């Protein structure tokens, strides 16, 4: 009998580990320098600074950035809340990454928007960041000083932050406390190799290389312990059961992103759709690939055509056409906002 494939995260050769560690260290130094220079020389755009910054006893060093709508007063009604986690390959960045996006969401959706800080790899590997995210969300929901409508709570995230959102939602302690989740261009299946992902997206010109092909192996090295089962739903949400996830899920993918296919496949499985072979793995059929709704819009897949990974934040390849990227970002937040306000947040009233 042929041997079955192993889904245990393998130990890497010594020199590969040295290369990955030095590359990761270089990335961290670069990001730290960029953030420091940004904070020193670039003034935040008007209306993009948080109303307040809070930490909680579960992790006092983590600073969560909270945005109130400008129309809010002490006599206002309780607000729906959107809690989101930043991207950065599980190893880079902080909650300030999402200031501009959180401010936009807060204003456009009229919600309390919170950029959640979390523990970074490699110092904190799976499942520690998920556990800390759960603890932080519970602390926020228990904070009587925040005007949160407990019947309208959504969590989301960008790239690695989207995986953390999907992972945290499966924790029994958050059962029935999270009503919707909105992951953007996130990893959902760590069993898929870079080679299998490579041919799951279109390319704009001959020789174009997806920038994540280099970053994903670094992220997996930093975040996933050796020997970890890569099919664990908390790590690879694509293996999660429907009943372990929030009732409402809106997944956003970017067409020019090697992570889009697996995210769409996850939504297809949850919706009971038949998947087809795409590249070296499974994906949605042509009819559903560009977007669909199922189960009374409780499941929504949004694919942004011509967009790259990180387009909502003008990251990476999305900088090549900033005007189009800004239009794509504005439109996807409009679409997602309408889904959220007319679906889970309307039902929660």
Per-residue pLDDT of 63-83, as tens digits, reads 999 999 998 988 789 999 999
137 and 150 Cβ atoms separated by less than 8 Å: no
Query: What are all long-range contacts of 264-269, with beta carbons under 8 Å and residues at least 24 apart?
Result: 264/288, 264/289, 264/301, 264/303, 265/188, 265/189, 265/238, 266/188, 266/189, 266/237, 266/238, 267/292, 267/299, 267/300, 267/301, 268/301, 269/238
Residues of the chain with pLDDT under 50: 1-4
Average pLDDT along the chain: 93
Q: pLDDT at position 36, please?
A: 82
Per-residue pLDDT of 205-259, as tens digits, reads 888 888 899 899 999 999 999 999 999 999 999 999 999 999 999 999 999 999 9
C-alpha–C-alpha distance, residues 218 and 89, integer Å:
8
> Chain-centre distance of CA 140, in angstroms?
19
**CA–CA distances in Å: residue 170 to residues 197, 233, 346:** 25, 8, 23
Name beta bridge partners: 65: 53, 115
* Dihedral-angle region of residue 196 (phi above 0 means left; psi in -120 to 50 means alpha; beta otherwise): alpha
């Amino acid at each position: 009998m042929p041997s079955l494939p192993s889904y245990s995260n393998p130990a890497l050769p010594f020199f590969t580990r040295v290369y990955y560690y030095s590359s990761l260290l270089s990335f961290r130094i670069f990001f730290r320098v960029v953030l420091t220079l940004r904070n020193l020389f670039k003034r935040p755009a008007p209306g993009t600074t948080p109303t307040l910054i809070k930490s909680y006893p579960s992790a006092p060093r983590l600073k969560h950035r909270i945005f109130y709508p400008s129309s809010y007063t002490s006599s206002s009604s309780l607000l729906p809340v959107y809690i989101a986690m930043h991207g950065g390959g599980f190893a880079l960045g902080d909650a300030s990454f999402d200031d501009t996006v959180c401010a936009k969401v807060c204003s456009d959706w009229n919600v309390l928007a919170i950029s959640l800080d979390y523990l970074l790899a490699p110092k904190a590997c799976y499942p520690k960041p998920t556990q800390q995210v759960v603890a932080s969300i519970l602390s926020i929901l228990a904070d009587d000083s925040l005007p949160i409508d407990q019947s309208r709570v959504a969590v989301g995230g960008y790239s690695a932050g989207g995986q953390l959102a999907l992972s945290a939602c499966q924790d029994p302690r958050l059962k029935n406390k999270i009503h919707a989740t909105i992951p953007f261009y996130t990893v959902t299946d760590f069993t898929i190799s870079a080679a299998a992902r490579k041919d799951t997206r279109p390319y704009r010109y001959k020789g174009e290389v997806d920038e994540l092909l280099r970053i994903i192996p670094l992220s997996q090295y930093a975040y996933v312990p050796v020997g970890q089962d890569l099919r664990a739903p908390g790590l690879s949400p694509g293996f999660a059961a429907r009943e372990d996830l929030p009732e409402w899920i809106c997944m956003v993918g970017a067409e020019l992103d090697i992570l889009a296919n697996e995210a769409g496949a996850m939504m297809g499985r949850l919706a009971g759709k038949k998947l087809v072979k795409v590249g070296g793995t499974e994906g949605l059929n042509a009819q559903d690939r560009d977007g669909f709704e199922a189960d009374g819009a409780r499941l929504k897949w949004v694919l942004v055509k011509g967009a790259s990974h990180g387009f909502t934040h003008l990251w990476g390849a999305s900088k090549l056409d900033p005007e189009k990227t800004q239009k794509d970002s504005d439109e996807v937040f409009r679409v997602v906002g309408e889904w959220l306000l007319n679906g889970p947040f309307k039902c929660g009233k």
